[in-house]
Homo-oligomer: A and B are copies of this chain.
Amino acid sequence: MPAQQEKILACACELYLEAGLPGFSMRKLAKNVGVTAPALYRHYDGKNKVLADVVRAAYQAYQGYVYRALRAATPIERFFQAGEGYLDFALEHPRWYKIMFSSPERLGMQELPKDIEAMGWGVHQFWIDRVRECMQVGILKEADPLRTSLTMWAHAHGMVQLYHQGLFPMDQEEFRSLFEESGARMMSGFATDSFRTQLEELNLLGQTAPQA
């Protein structure tokens, strides 16, 4: 990747992270780079292509938060550390999280580039692997890891989306514990009996919480 293109991309990421998608324009980007807008077109074939590279950078940032969990020793540690990394990423970089899971329409494209689509599937594949190894060591009940991890991912993604939209009137710390508790509640259906007992001992299932 040529140096000037890299510089443009770096400025583009910075601009997107501080101004969001509606505040992202080629003219502002050009000013940040130190050139005029049409010059950007020497290096990028339009705004969409710049944004596509910002999405790729978002996936890279995501991977930095989640893949470090692979250094843990056991499947269950890898699973929980990855979950923590997922939540950290979603809370510390909401704009990066949002652009990763933006529909093509929102980015002004008809279809996502194939390699970005593949990155989305990669996120899923990672969780399939975590779930599979948890099944192998008897923490989760034997089942289809693909479908089980999909259920878990959808839950986590939905929680984050609803929080980002402002539907939970609470601060980050409260949401964090809500997220963990909700995840544990959901997982109690997939967990083996012995692991479910562990979850209950962590007081994460909230079986005796007050009525709303």
Contacts and interface: CB of A to CB of B under 8 A. Distances in A.
A122 B104 CA distance: 29
Nearest to A155: B155
Interface stretch (A25-33, A34-42, A72-80, A145-153): A145-153
How many copies of the polypeptide does the oligomer hold? 2
Interface of A: 20-22, 98, 101-106, 108, 111-112, 117, 120-121, 124, 128, 132, 141-148, 150-151, 153-159, 161-162, 164-167, 178, 181-182, 185-190, 205-207, 209-212
A149 B212 CA distance: 11
A209 B209 CA distance: 35
Contact of A155 (B98, B145, B148, B151): B151
Contacts of A124: 167
A206 B146 CA distance: 11
Given A104-B166, A182-B150, A186-B151, A211 B157 contact: no
B101 A206 contact: no
A128 B212 contact: yes
B153 A158 contact: yes
Contacts of A154: 155-156, 158-159, 162, 182
Going nearest first, the 7 A-B pairs with the smallest beta carbon separation are: A189-B189, A158-B158, A154-B158, A146-B212, A144-B209, A157-B158, A154-B159
A33 to B, nearest CB: 24
Contacts of A148: 185
A207 B141 contact: yes
A151 B182 contact: yes
A108 B143 contact: no
B155 A186 contact: yes
Contacts of A128: 212
